[in-house]
Structure 1
Amino acid sequence: MTQRSFETRRIGETNLSVTTLGLGGASLAGNFTRVPEDQARATVAHALELGITYVDTAPQYGLGRSEHLVGEVVRNASPRPVISTKVGRLLRPVPPERQDKGNWAEPLPFNQHYDYSHDGIMRSFEDSLQRLGLDRVDMLYVHDIGTVTHGVEGNRPYWAQLSGGGYRALRRLRDEGVVGAIGLGVNEWEVLMDAFALGDWDVFLLAGRYTLLEQTALAPFLATCVDRNASVVIGGPFNSGILVGGDTFDYARAPEAVVRRVREIGAVCRDFDVPLPAAALQFPLAHKAVCNVLPGPRSPQELDEILAWWETDIPPELWTALAEKRLLAPGTPIPGGTA
């Protein structure tokens, strides 16, 4: 198999660089739909064979399943890719009748418990190393802190944990060289602005808020990232499937206004004979804060389809047409200028 020549971008001011296309590990763990373990491992292996050098996972994904599957492949890879995982959830064994499986088709026999404290983050990190079977990971994200997951009042004690000791734990891990970069991985940009008040971060994983469909994170968040030399990984580039022909947006049935906007964007793409998913994948990289786009294929075949979209030649006029039809937020970076 011929490796692709991917562009690489640096993570903040660290020594880490990643290919601009990465591999997300949530779907591999059976998010909504079962994924056979051999298929999941083959997908990770295929990504590495293609030349992708960044793989993301988390304790939440399959309640430990994703970290186990990713670790089985990457620990023997040479060279080893950049690996990120997440903290903020501890997994505790539970009898089957008491398990909260959430959206996971076949999770491991654990329930998750939130803990963003100093000791909770250190424990979460150590547990992840054991599940991965690795001596280190490269990037560590605080996972799903914020009002989207916890509500306004529910988030207050968790934020107090992060500000009161959790951030210190992350800084300690980075300063000691145990991890190369620290950040947050969330579905809302507002909490990332709050995070800037705590201190310096290297990278953020933001899902769904800076996509071809939605650019709400453009200002002030992405502008602040440029000013603070923090990189951004874009998760959920297809907005939960609506940009690849599905009917879900933010993990729920898409409202009519969203469906209508997707139709309008799709019509422009058809005018230029460009698949809508190709435009969705390539769009975020025009912003200089963005270092990586992170789709989550379920199989080597899905990854090959993503790669075909990734390599689609998109004429600059497509982006200009989207801007002229006001389908991109004013000021959105596009190749050759801004919307």
Structure 2
Amino acid sequence: MSARQFEKRRIGQTELEITTLGLGGASLAGIFSRVPAEQARATIAHALEMGINYLDTAPQYGYGRSEHLMGDVLRERRQDAVLSSKVGRLLRPFGTDRSSPHNWVDPLPFDQVYDYSYDGIMRSHEDSIQRLGVDKIDVLYVHDIGTMTHGVEGNRPLWQQLESGGYRALRELRDGGVVKAIGLGVNEWQVLMDAMALGDWDVFLLAGRYTLLEQTSLEPFMRTCLERGSSVVIGGPFNSGVLVGGSTFNYAKAPDDVVSKVRQIEAVCREFDVPLPAAALQFPLLHPAVCNVLPGPRSPEELDGILAWWDAPIPDVLWMRLAEQGLLAPGTPIPGGTA
């Protein structure tokens, strides 16, 4: 099976160029259901063989499991792969009881400690290098800072850590050439606007907030990224399952209004003989700030299904029809103009 030629887009104003389709490493670490290690490694290897050059992982995913699995493959075939991981959580042996709730099946025997300070970020980066067993991480994201994860009061001291020292650590790593790009990886766009007040960032990994179903980040976040020269990686393009035939939205049962909107979008897709997941996967790249879409297949077979959706032709008139029916937010970029 030969590698295909993917379009590549530049990350911000860096020298990094990544394929517009990437591979997310959360599902491979066994979120909600177990993924055998050999199957996970085979999925990573298959992505590289197919020509995907952007891989994302994090210490949180399986409490170290995802980084170990990624490293196993990358040590054998790093090639031109661009690797991102995350900071903000340190892992420690948990003894007999975990203090934090989680959705990982068969995680490694660690618990997480939030630390967005200068020392915490430096240590997190070093620990990830050790778990991966590689010599470099290209992109480093601040992971899950914000009120969605920590609550309003809980987030304040953590944000103070990032503001008073964490951002400086990231700048030192980037300016010293240790990493090539820095950003944040979160599920809420509002915290990314706050981050822009701290300084300059190359790329943001935003999950679920700019999808075929939801464009809440369009204004002012996506516009500001274009103005600041920052790129956006879109995680969760299927909104945790509801856009690929599932019943979950934001990792919980989809509410009725969401289900209704999905049915309306699906009806338009059916009119043009386009699978709904194909439209969901390809939609984010219509925005010029987006450099990559990052799904999380659990097997080589799931990845092949994603590649089939990726290759599915989508006529421009489909996007226009969605806009005409009010199913895209005003101002959403579509071929020939905006919604």
**How would you bin the TM-score normalised by the shorter chain?**
over 0.9
SS of residue paired to 1:70: helix
TM-score, normalising length from structure 1?
Answer: 0.99
Segments of structure 1 that go 5 or more residues without pairing to the other structure are none
Contact 1:139 1:180 (C-alpha < 8 Å) held by counterparts: yes
Deviations 1:55-90 (A, max 9, x none): 000000000000000000012215140000000000
SS in 2 for 1:141: strand
In the alignment, which residue of structure 2 is the partner of 1:256?
Answer: 256
Distance 2:147 2:258 in 1: 22
Structure 2 SS opposite 1:71: helix
**Count of matched residue positions in the alignment of Structure 1 and Structure 2:** 339
Separation of aligned partners in 2, 1:192 and 1:302: 31
1:183 and 2:204 matched? no
Q: After superposition, what is the alpha-carbon deviation per residue over 1:34-72, rounded to whole angstroms, capped at 9, x for unaligned?
A: 000000000000000000000000000000000000000
Answering whether residue 106 of structure 2 is matched by residue 109 of structure 1, we say: no
Aligned partners of 2:146 and 2:98: how far apart in 1? 26
Deviation for aligned residue 1:336: 2.1
1:178-217 residue pairs with structure 2 within 5 A? 178-217=178-217
Is the alpha carbon distance of 1:40 and 1:96 closer, same or farther for their aligned partners in structure 2, counting shifts above 3 Å? farther
**Which residue of 2 is the match for residue 14 of structure 1?**
14
Q: CA deviation at 1:271?
A: 0.4
Partner amino acid, structure 1, of 2:234? I
Runs ≥4 residues deviating over 3 A: 96-101
Q: Deviations over 1:136-169 (max 9, x none)?
A: 1000000000000001111000000000000000
Q: Which ranges of structure 2 fall in alignment gaps of 5 or more residues?
A: none
Letter paired with 1:210: Y
AA aligned to 1:102 is: H
| Paired-residue identity, % | 74
User: 1:1-339, aligned counterparts within 5 Å?
Assistant: 1-98=1-98, 100=100, 102-339=102-339
Distance 2:98 2:207 in 1: 30
In the TM superposition, residue 337 of structure 1 has moved relative to its aligned partner by: 1.6
Task: Say if 1:101 and 1:107, in contact at 8 Å, map to a contact too.
Answer: no
Letter of the structure 2 residue corresponding to residue 136 of structure 1: K
Instruction: Measure, in 2, the Cα distance between the counterparts of 1:330 and 1:190.
Output: 19
When residues 87 and 278 of structure 1 are mapped into structure 2, their CA distance, relative to the original with a 3 A threshold, is: same
C-alpha separation in 1, matches of 2:79 and 2:123: 28
2:59 alignment partner AA: P
Tell me how far 1:97 sits from its aligned partner.
3.9
The one-letter code sitting in structure 2 at the alignment partner of 1:213 is: L
Query: What is the CA deviation profile of residues 107-158 of structure 1, one whole-angstrom value per residue up to 9, with x for unaligned ones?
Result: 0000001000000000000000000001110000000000000011110000
CA RMSD of aligned residues (A): 0.8
Cα deviation, residue 96, structure 1: 4.0
Deviation at 1:99, TM superposition (A): 6.1
Q: 1:147 to 1:100 in 2, by over 3 A?
A: closer
Pairwise CA distance, 1:95 = 2.0
Structure 1 98/189 Cα, relative in aligned 2: closer, same or farther at 3 Å?
A: closer
The one-letter code of the counterpart of 1:208 is: G
The amino acid of 1:26's aligned partner reads A
- Structure 2: distance between partners of 1:98 and 1:63: 11
* C-alpha deviation, 1:6, in angstroms: 0.2
What are the superposed Cα offsets for residues 202-227 of structure 1, whole Å, 9 maximum, x if unpaired? 00000000000000000100000000
CA shift for structure 1 position 94: 1.3
- Provide the C-alpha distance between the structure 2 equivalents of 1:292 and 1:100, rounded to a whole number of angstroms: 31
- SS across alignment from 1:76: helix
Tell me, yes or no, if the aligned pair for 1:99 and 1:110 is still in contact at 8 Å: no
